[in-house]
Amino acid sequence: MGKRTFMVLLAGILCVLSGCGSMFNHFYTSESDFKGSQEIELDDTTQVVKSYAALRRVVYNMINNHLETAELLISGYSGDVVSDIASICGSANTDTAYGAYCVEYASYELTQIVSYYEVTINITYKYTQEELSDLLTTPNNESFSDLIAQELAAGKTHTVTKVNNGSGESDAVEKRIRQACRNHPTVISFVPEVSVKVYSGNTSQRIYEVEAVPDERLERNAERLQSLAGALNAAKRGIHTAGDAWTVINAARYLAGSCELSATGSTAYDALITGKADSEGMAAAFKALCDKLDVGCQVVEGQQDKTAHYWNIVSIDNAYYHVDVSEMQTGEAAALLLSDLEKQASCWWDLTEYPTCEGPLTYDAVTAAGA
């Protein structure tokens, strides 16, 4: 324990009173205990920090709970307090996705009292807690894309979503949103034009701010979906189902017979209601038909002759096959139940984004066996 020592020197004083001078020629020492940091009286709300990790957690907890001020003691710290707190506060608006989105800046007041520090941390936010109450949360990119498709279908042109395990920059996120809209043609009747801002930090967490370009089709989405539902019900009655393979073939025949391939018309609504659509519209319509017929299906975005082209991948007995209704005018065998190798003869797509198609079925084998 340290000692606080006071020394008083009384010497060289000549007393005028006889016999008194000798009693002042001495040093006097007074000692009293010094209360160290471990003896500071703490109340229940005082935070005591001893490490960089603990100090960092304090700031992260403030941000996550939208707290503006925190007071704490730093005692027995293993590191450079001044440097560490400056670094942590300086990166409060860049270190995490949430901080990047909502923190303007963080500041601190640091007072050293012998062997410990008193600290006040202040955080200024870009948005109020009420403004952040509409923040959405999803676990990963896939659920995020599906959620945004639903939000757009509900007419929301601006959304902010925290994705706990996300990845990708703006262009990749925009592409995922468009793909989700194509794969949910009975939820949203077209693919809106969107722009995305990405907020990230040093973790896998991301915050995506999505802005959709205003479109009158958003306002008419419910009406368009109602018309589409009627067309799908009629199509289901007209498609003979005898196992998934024949269901796929008959659904493709139905769509090719009721929709004319066109340079415009990129939605299932165009294909099934107006009767004219491009490859994107046909692929969306075929996805809608497969959903109605309980066949696993997704839309593929790729290229043909260096231009954008769309088709489908279907699931039959846990195996995958390509189906391209827009190519059926060249012959059904060249468009239905294709493997990756067969489809790669005319098209390109990102193989990492879609399941591998190498199932045992072929169009010729299925049709030769008969329905």
| Interatomic CA distance for residues 279 and 255, integer angstroms | 12
Confidence of residue 5 (pLDDT cuts 50, 70, 90): very low
For 261-295, b/e burial (b = at least 16 CB within 10 A) is: bbeebbbbbbbbbeeebbbbbbbbbbbbbbbbbeb
> Which two tokens mark 301?
């975005």
| Interatomic CA distance for residues 317 and 340, integer angstroms | 17
- Residue 370 confidence (pLDDT): 80
Confidence of residue 371 (pLDDT cuts 50, 70, 90): low
pLDDT tens digits for 82-122?
A: 999 999 999 999 999 999 999 999 999 999 998 899 999 99
Confidence of residue 12 (pLDDT cuts 50, 70, 90): very low
Please tell me the number of Cα atoms within 13 Å of 166 on its side-chain side: 29
pLDDT tens digits for 160-177?
A: 999 999 998 999 999 999
| Interatomic CA distance for residues 329 and 139, integer angstroms | 43
Confidence of residue 46 (pLDDT cuts 50, 70, 90): confident
- Residue 235 confidence (pLDDT): 96
The H-assigned helical ranges of the chain are 52-64, 81-90, 97-102, 141-153, 170-182, 216-219, 221-238, 244-258, 268-269, 279-292, 340-343, 363-369
Confidence of residue 369 (pLDDT cuts 50, 70, 90): confident
- Residue 349 confidence (pLDDT): 98
Comparing 198 with 46, the larger pLDDT belongs to 198
For 38-63, b/e burial (b = at least 16 CB within 10 A) is: eeeeeeeeebebeebeebbebbbebb
- Residue 16 confidence (pLDDT): 32
pLDDT tens digits for 203-253?
A: 899 999 999 999 999 889 999 999 999 999 999 999 999 899 999 999 999
249, 188, 260, 251: which is closest to 224 by C-alpha? 188
* % of the chain at pLDDT higher than 70: 88
- Residue 43 confidence (pLDDT): 57
Report the sign of the C-alpha dihedral through residues 237, 370, 344, 330, in that order.
negative
Comparing 263 with 34, the larger pLDDT belongs to 263
241, 251, 266: which is closest to 191 by C-alpha? 266
* Region 306-325 average pLDDT: 97
> Does the predicted model carry a pTM greater than 0.85?
no
Q: Find how far residue 192's CA is from the centre of its chain.
A: 19
| Interatomic CA distance for residues 30 and 273, integer angstroms | 100
* Region 272-292 average pLDDT: 97
261 SS3 class: strand
Q: Give residues with Cβ within 8 angstroms of 346, minimum separation 6.
A: 304, 327
| Interatomic CA distance for residues 257 and 196, integer angstroms | 38
* End-to-end CA, the chain: 94
Q: Does residue 288 carry a pLDDT above 60?
A: yes
- Residue 84 confidence (pLDDT): 96
Centre a 10 Å sphere on the Cβ of residue 303 and count the other Cβ atoms it contains: 12
- Residue 280 confidence (pLDDT): 97
Q: Does residue 4 carry a pLDDT above 70?
A: no
Q: What is the mean pLDDT of the chain?
A: 88
Comparing 6 with 179, the larger pLDDT belongs to 179
